[in-house]
Structure 1
Amino acid sequence: MRKAFPARGGKNAKKRLKAVSLWLSAGLFVSAAAHAAPVRNTPATLEETGEVLLQADELIYNRDTEVVTAKGNVEIVYGPRILFADKVTYEQKTGIVTAEGNIRILEPTGDVFFADRTRLSDELGEGFAESLSVLMVDNTRITAVEAKRSGGNLTTFHKGVFSPCEVCEAEGAEPLWQIKSYKVIHNQKEQQIIYEDAFFEFFGIPVAYVPFFSHPDPTVERQSGFLFPSLGFSEDFGTEVEIPYYWVIAPNMDATLAPRYTSKQGILYQAEFRHRTNRGEYEFDITGTKPTDPEAGTPADTDFRGSFFSEGKFKLDETWNWGFRTELTSDDTYLRRYDLSDETDLTSRVYVQGIDGRSEFLGESFFFQGLLSNDVSAETPIIAPLVNYYFEPERKILGGQLTWDTNIMSLTRARGTDSQRFSTTLGWESRHVTSTGEIFRPFVDLRGDVYYTDDVQITPTRQANSETVVRGLPTAGLEWRWPWVRSSGSTRQVVEPVVQLIYAPNGGNPDEIPNEDSLSFEFDAINLFENNRFPGLDRWEGGARANVGLNFSLYGEDGGVFDALIGQTLRFRENTEFDANSGLREQKSDYVGRLRYRPSENFSLAHRFRLDEEDFSFARNEVDLFTRLGPLSVSGTYAFFDASQSARLGTREELSAYANYRLSDYWSLRGYTRRDLENQQTLNNQLGLYYQDECFALGLAYQQEFFRDRDIEPDNSIMLQLTFKHLGTAGFSSGLSSSSDQ
């Protein structure tokens, strides 16, 4: 509202007076003697270039008192602000502006002020208003019996009400929640709203009283101050209270301090720091505690437990960028015990990357920390460095695309196998489409590796020390596809047979090369047509083979789709490089496939499978389902992996399901469960009731966790979370007596 009128007196006041005089002398007044007489039924306009545009049904100028009065549909435009009223008077001598009747002031921010009567200085720095209400751009409302503005900064509302909630149209209806106060002060400079003698009301019923309370106004994106506290009770920690403090250090820098007091285990200190620079951003997250009641024989039996997490990414120039990520903790169970993270494997990484046209460089280093009971830190590798360089020239060679891919890796352990690797691959492929629509893709890969290894355990009784291994790995192949397309009405069908012939020498994986990056191999529809199905470079797929498959797709008029793939690998002889349980060792591999069915946005089904080549039993079976039936949405995942998939892990079968039922526009009921079907154990359950509207959100959930690991026991808890628009989020949790019954 500031500067809606220019300052009283001086050059601007003279311009206004001159404009009024010129306008009056144009014959709108019949006589100079009748200078106090109104002009009726004639639109009146006063426009001063870049300053004021005034329009009203009638305008009166009293030369004796130097008072300008505008009546009837008054509209005053001053810069980006617009004022509407039934009547406006401006006293040139005092600079006082008085508006009466149906007053509306439109701010450039989109906020709208309503009042019955206002009296302000022409700078709008001083004044008062009666029956004032403010509608902000986000539908937040402030109302008051009267308001007073002083110093061009402070607006004091007497008997004020603040609420960001929409009000029902029914007469006498109250917003969902509101704050009523005998005095509300809006400090515009500090962007703060302060309440004195405030009552917090739900549905018009007072539920809390505070003598003093403040929060940032809706224009604030962030501001230093205390955030809503969290309160909890648990058997392990007793009473828990967390009071976060948010600190805006600079426009591009902030921090959050969140000490958590526990009656049984002392204080957990938490701090987060964030900083955005001209070239990037980074953040640190540090926690620590000194347990007051450590449990003997567990990771908690120590003087200090803590963690350090960090992440950063920076741009050096248009080509190069670098970054880091750090994940460290003092012991295996600390993060899960204090409900800071559910991770059981931590990865720290630093990298530098350059992308320039058709080439890419990536250099990185890794540090790992395993948090399960069977993880041995001395045997966990450190990778420093791992370098990849990729280049493809723009010019075609022999009608195809040439590529060059180079990898350098150094892996060390405190105890166990160490290895260094240099690998480079020169690749070429082309694509040709015949007049009949057949697609031919010939390809050639020439790869060479050099390894230096130490302490490789070849057999339980044989170990190789300080070995240098060199190998050459050529691959050549031809892929053929022939898509057939048929349209019928609004549907389109595509049938595509695929045959891929590959030749590579047998062997290529000497015992002296440790398998570090190809342990998690899995034969499926995704890698059916890969030249080398091992995920890393330590293992290579040799031998002549044919990969065959059939793709089928059906597309409907309304975006519905069904597609499927099934395929198999055929070999001239058994490939002993693959595990007997992999499904790829025999001359005829297992069948792998996938299918996807999505007739509309309300239903989708995805299925991935591997079938035994002889009896068609499932070696791998995964199903993802989503459906929406009116207010009910259900999603689920089923996964089965036969023991043949991994002798180390054995047979695994698991089911997880999530459901959301909308009780109304605002209320919903949600549930989640995850169960180990092989061992007949429930892993976790959650059931919650949720509410969300434009100004308030509520979540009430009951959760069961059945996981047990050293000082972590199964846990049952109730969680309540309340979110108030502009104010923040408050949380409450309570642990219940846990049970191992599942």
Structure 2
Amino acid sequence: MHIRYFLALSLLPQLVLAEETTPEPDASIQCLVEPPVPRMAVVDPEASETDLQEIRILSDRSEAQMGKQAKFNGNVSFSQGGRHIAADEAILNQQSERLDANGNLVFQDQMFTITADSLVAQMRDNSATLSGAQYWLHGQQIHGDAEKLEITPDNNLHLTKTNFTTCPPGDSSWLLEADKIKIDSTEEWGELWDAKLKIGGVPILYIPYMTIPVSDKRKSGFLFPTFSTSTTNGVEVATPYYWNIAPEYDLTFTPNYMSARGLFLKTDFRYLAGESQQGQLNVEYLGNDNMLSNNADRYLYHWEHKGAIDKNWRVLANFTQVSDNNYFNDMDSDVQSATDNQLSRLGEVSYFERNWDFSARVQDIKVLGEDEVPYQVMPQLNFNYRAPSLWNGLDFDLMSEVSNFKHQDNEFSTATRLHVEPSISFPIQGPAGSLTSEVKLLQTYYWQDDQGNPKNSELDDQVSRTLPQVRIHGQVNFERYTDYFNENYRQTLEPQFQYLYVGYEDQSNIGIYDTAQLQEDYFGLFRERRFSGLDRIADANQMTLGLTTRLFDENNIEKFKFSLGQIFYFQDSRVGINDPQIPTQTYTQENTSNSVLAAELSTQIYKDWYMSGAIQYDTKQSENKKSEVTLDFRPGANKLLQFSYRYVPDLLNTNTNESVNISQAGMRGAWPVSDSLYLVGNWYYDLNESRAVETYAGFQYESCCWALRLSYHYRIKTNYEDDNNSTLDNRELFESGVYLNFVIKGLGGSGPLGVTDMLNDGLFNYRKPLYLKN
């Protein structure tokens, strides 16, 4: 017989440890340790407050004296809202408001499950004590034992003679034992006293006091250290400390000791400014670098901010400064890598409406290792207006800009540039193709100050440049159903053309302030401009022809794509990019009847084999101007073999102003040896210099409760000339090092180590091995 009582007394407090969340998919191992008892805590989302306070008692047998004591036996079940207790026997003393339960005792709520030998609950102050307890936090890996577990009146947990781990039951990879643990249910963190960390059952560390997070909530404390050794920095030990200052602010301070250089200090401060703005501030400092002949100080400071003020206004700021050109080559910075050679200083505010927008910006770019200093934009104002379908299908657009250019070197001229670019276009679009006709008027005014320098005498004080532009671009889409190798496909054929006319005007009386030559890849053939910026607008009378074909399988997934195109010049362009202020520049426009022949290929060759490539071929000189190809074998997640080759002739070395040829072959791979062990490696070889430029080999082991990564890196170093401080007498051309990362999950580690970041760790990132850093 089941007996049900309905009481209005509060039995036990609701202890909030952490919100139960569903982990996001990750390539790393994810384990959730569930209690060996069924989950009972289910709360009706539509239940009222009264229903949540109501206590329900079920049992096979009961004896009760009204107002004194009630005894329950056999399959006893207490429930209140989302809290449940199951036991063989329970006694409820209504006079003292005390509940005693024992025998196969299970306590559950939405956040955790506890099994124990016995339970004593004081309903008057909403507290309880469980003896011989085992506990599990729902939705997390944390579980452990406790000689005594107390639930306090303020909903906190006190555990005595206890331990916890994130390893599965029976796995003693690591265990933290403590004399006492207090878990704060509001802040969701725990305090430990007299703790011992055991790895493989062997005590390795005694900790008198420490704090740990018990949820995803941020908590101040030390993160796991990293260890490495390299030929340039010696032995390195980094011990990051995380400070959770407030919900809107946090800071990570990392002392990094390098035996060859000294103590390298890194600070990363992050903040939120309201609901839609965020930023960070980085400060890095190494005093008296022992690897420099003059023991100079090395430093970096960096600030970035971005976000929305409201639905219309946007702000953006970015500023970085370093002590010397070789800072990123020598230091393991949190801001940029050794392959980055530009420091951006930018401030921008923008306003957006449906048909128009306005922005104001200041910009300064520092190029590391180069003698030439770019111009500063102080400031630049932009106004853009769009009126689609203004009249009978005609679209009207207006782009305008006012820029003021300054230079840190007083020998260079300064300038103010006003550019107005109205355009009218007539687009016709349909499933069978598209045709767009466009007319533009490019009107630019310059006010230039030669700063009294005779070498700037070729620059006019005032320049007015007016250029008409006509552009007609069309594309036709053909498709058919076919089959190849007994597979059904949908094949497309997409020919396109573009006629471009831009008027000519002599522009040698204008300085070069923000202009550079653009690449001539397949998509670049259909650009309107040959140069970035506005200081040089090349005249054009040309036709571009291009063709793309694709294959789609029955699931509409693209399996093959090939593009081929070329520009045919009706008239040679007469505008080059020579800067009158820099006579050593030799950029010229070669007279030719056509551009390079540009082709691109991307295809799934067979099952898990993929190939991509591109080439720019000079048909007139029969020369390869640039080529690149990759062959991938990707049979599954974190399984990769990639072979690559790239060739670029006559690449300008800005340090020596000499041309060099790039011819490099490479291999990259990642492969799981088992469910927990991954191997990752890459190798890139310079065929011209007959030497390896980068070698990386590493393995990563990851289980449910800990992860380990050991890697070896050998790579070429970039060495810039540096006027700010004296560099090494014999600066090394190559650097080699061994790196160790170790994480115990659940003890404030930085999270699971991933295979993806190992693939991206190096000079050549995965899927981008052909990108040139100039």
TM range (shorter): 0.7 to 0.9
* 1:403 Cα deviation from its structure 2 partner: 0.7
The code of the aligned residue for 1:562 comes to F
The code of the aligned residue for 2:742 comes to L
Secondary structure of residue in 1 paired with 2:92: strand
Out of 418, 426, 443, which is 1:448 matched to? 443
Change beyond 3 A, Cα 1:592–1:454: farther
Secondary structure of residue in 1 paired with 2:540: coil
Out of 747, 768, 774, which is 1:727 matched to? 747
Out of 394, 405, 408, which is 1:411 matched to? 405
Residues in 2 aligned to 1:308 and 1:676: alpha-carbon distance in whole angstroms: 35
Matched, 1:270 2:256: no
Aligned equivalent of 1:23: none
Residues in 1 aligned to 2:162 and 2:218: alpha-carbon distance in whole angstroms: 24
Change beyond 3 A, Cα 1:164–1:207: same
Higher mean Cα deviation, 698-707 or 652-661?
652-661
Aligned equivalent of 2:574: 576
Aligned equivalent of 1:740: none
Change beyond 3 A, Cα 1:461–1:455: closer
Matched, 1:662 2:663: no
Out of 364, 388, 399, which is 2:393 matched to? 399
Aligned equivalent of 1:43: none
Matched, 1:250 2:243: no
Out of 420, 434, 438, which is 1:439 matched to? 434
Out of 316, 336, 339, which is 2:332 matched to? 339
Change beyond 3 A, Cα 1:192–1:634: same
Asked if 2 retains the 8 angstrom alpha-carbon contact of 1:56 and 1:72, the reply is no
Residues in 2 aligned to 1:457 and 1:521: alpha-carbon distance in whole angstroms: 32
Aligned equivalent of 2:562: 564
TM-score, reference length from structure 2: 0.80
* 1:556 Cα deviation from its structure 2 partner: 1.4
Residues in 2 aligned to 1:448 and 1:401: alpha-carbon distance in whole angstroms: 19
Secondary structure of residue in 2 paired with 1:527: helix
For residues 160-183 of structure 1, give each alpha carbon's deviation from its aligned partner in whole angstroms, at most 9, with x where no partner exists. 23111223xxxxx32432223454
Asked if 2 retains the 8 angstrom alpha-carbon contact of 1:230 and 1:730, the reply is no
Residues in 2 aligned to 1:483 and 1:182: alpha-carbon distance in whole angstroms: 74
Residues in 1 aligned to 2:430 and 2:304: alpha-carbon distance in whole angstroms: 51
Matched, 1:652 2:662: yes
For residues 599-650 of structure 1, give each alpha carbon's deviation from its aligned partner in whole angstroms, at most 9, with x where no partner exists. 6883432212111113643211122333224674123443211228898543
* 1:89 Cα deviation from its structure 2 partner: 2.3
Aligned equivalent of 1:371: 368
Secondary structure of residue in 2 paired with 1:538: coil
Aligned equivalent of 2:645: 638
Aligned equivalent of 1:289: 286
Matched, 1:163 2:165: yes
Aligned equivalent of 2:501: 503
The code of the aligned residue for 1:139 comes to Q
Change beyond 3 A, Cα 1:315–1:576: same
Out of 615, 620, 629, which is 1:614 matched to? 620
Change beyond 3 A, Cα 1:676–1:236: closer
Unaligned 5+ runs, structure 2? 1-6, 13-48, 578-585, 720-726, 752-774
The code of the aligned residue for 1:448 comes to Q
Change beyond 3 A, Cα 1:353–1:636: farther
Equivalence map 1:68-79=2 (5 Å): 68-79=70-81
Aligned equivalent of 2:132: 130
Residues in 2 aligned to 1:98 and 1:236: alpha-carbon distance in whole angstroms: 67
Aligned equivalent of 1:693: 703
**Cα-Cα RMSD:** 3.3
* 1:450 Cα deviation from its structure 2 partner: 0.8
* 1:544 Cα deviation from its structure 2 partner: 1.7
Secondary structure of residue in 1 paired with 2:671: strand
Matched, 1:305 2:298: yes
Residues in 2 aligned to 1:160 and 1:596: alpha-carbon distance in whole angstroms: 58
Asked if 1 retains the 8 angstrom alpha-carbon contact of 2:666 and 2:685, the reply is yes
Aligned equivalent of 1:208: 204
Higher mean Cα deviation, 695-704 or 574-583?
574-583
Residues in 2 aligned to 1:60 and 1:48: alpha-carbon distance in whole angstroms: 25
For residues 382-437 of structure 1, give each alpha carbon's deviation from its aligned partner in whole angstroms, at most 9, with x where no partner exists. 112223322111442342211111122222212224332111111122223589x4
The code of the aligned residue for 1:119 comes to V
Aligned equivalent of 1:227: 223
Secondary structure of residue in 1 paired with 2:252: strand
Residues in 1 aligned to 2:139 and 2:180: alpha-carbon distance in whole angstroms: 23
Matched, 1:531 2:538: no
Matched, 1:330 2:327: no
Aligned equivalent of 1:738: none
For residues 91-124 of structure 1, give each alpha carbon's deviation from its aligned partner in whole angstroms, at most 9, with x where no partner exists. 1122222222333222223x22222321222254
Aligned equivalent of 2:3: none
* 1:516 Cα deviation from its structure 2 partner: 3.6
Aligned equivalent of 1:29: none
Change beyond 3 A, Cα 1:85–1:156: same
| Higher gyration radius (CA) | 1
Out of 166, 175, 180, which is 1:178 matched to? 175
Secondary structure of residue in 1 paired with 2:526: coil
Matched, 1:471 2:472: no
Out of 586, 589, 594, which is 2:592 matched to? 586
* 1:571 Cα deviation from its structure 2 partner: 1.7
Aligned equivalent of 1:487: 481
Residues in 2 aligned to 1:673 and 1:136: alpha-carbon distance in whole angstroms: 44
Aligned equivalent of 1:31: none
Change beyond 3 A, Cα 1:501–1:245: closer
Matched, 1:107 2:109: yes
Change beyond 3 A, Cα 1:241–1:641: closer
Residues in 2 aligned to 1:155 and 1:398: alpha-carbon distance in whole angstroms: 73
Change beyond 3 A, Cα 1:433–1:288: closer
Matched, 1:625 2:631: yes
Residues in 1 aligned to 2:549 and 2:701: alpha-carbon distance in whole angstroms: 44
For residues 523-542 of structure 1, give each alpha carbon's deviation from its aligned partner in whole angstroms, at most 9, with x where no partner exists. 12012122223232222232
Secondary structure of residue in 2 paired with 1:518: coil
Secondary structure of residue in 2 paired with 1:528: helix
Change beyond 3 A, Cα 1:457–1:686: farther
Change beyond 3 A, Cα 1:144–1:637: same
For residues 63-104 of structure 1, give each alpha carbon's deviation from its aligned partner in whole angstroms, at most 9, with x where no partner exists. 177222333333322123222333332211222222223332
* 1:554 Cα deviation from its structure 2 partner: 1.4
Residues in 1 aligned to 2:430 and 2:261: alpha-carbon distance in whole angstroms: 74
Residues in 2 aligned to 1:385 and 1:427: alpha-carbon distance in whole angstroms: 25
Asked if 1 retains the 8 angstrom alpha-carbon contact of 2:227 and 2:236, the reply is yes
Secondary structure of residue in 2 paired with 1:420: strand
* 1:676 Cα deviation from its structure 2 partner: 3.1
For residues 421-472 of structure 1, give each alpha carbon's deviation from its aligned partner in whole angstroms, at most 9, with x where no partner exists. 111111122223589x4533211111111122344999x9774255211111
Asked if 2 retains the 8 angstrom alpha-carbon contact of 1:561 and 1:598, the reply is yes
Residues in 2 aligned to 1:600 and 1:388: alpha-carbon distance in whole angstroms: 50
Out of 85, 90, 100, which is 1:83 matched to? 85
Residues in 1 aligned to 2:186 and 2:549: alpha-carbon distance in whole angstroms: 65
* 1:240 Cα deviation from its structure 2 partner: 4.4
Secondary structure of residue in 2 paired with 1:651: strand
The code of the aligned residue for 1:634 comes to L
Change beyond 3 A, Cα 1:551–1:149: closer
* 1:674 Cα deviation from its structure 2 partner: 3.1
Change beyond 3 A, Cα 1:246–1:49: closer
Residues in 1 aligned to 2:199 and 2:254: alpha-carbon distance in whole angstroms: 29
Asked if 2 retains the 8 angstrom alpha-carbon contact of 1:443 and 1:477, the reply is yes
* Matched length: 674
Change beyond 3 A, Cα 1:443–1:307: same
Equivalence map 1:182-197=2 (5 Å): 182-188=179-185, 191-197=188-194
Change beyond 3 A, Cα 1:535–1:654: farther
TM-score, reference length from structure 1: 0.83
Aligned equivalent of 2:769: none
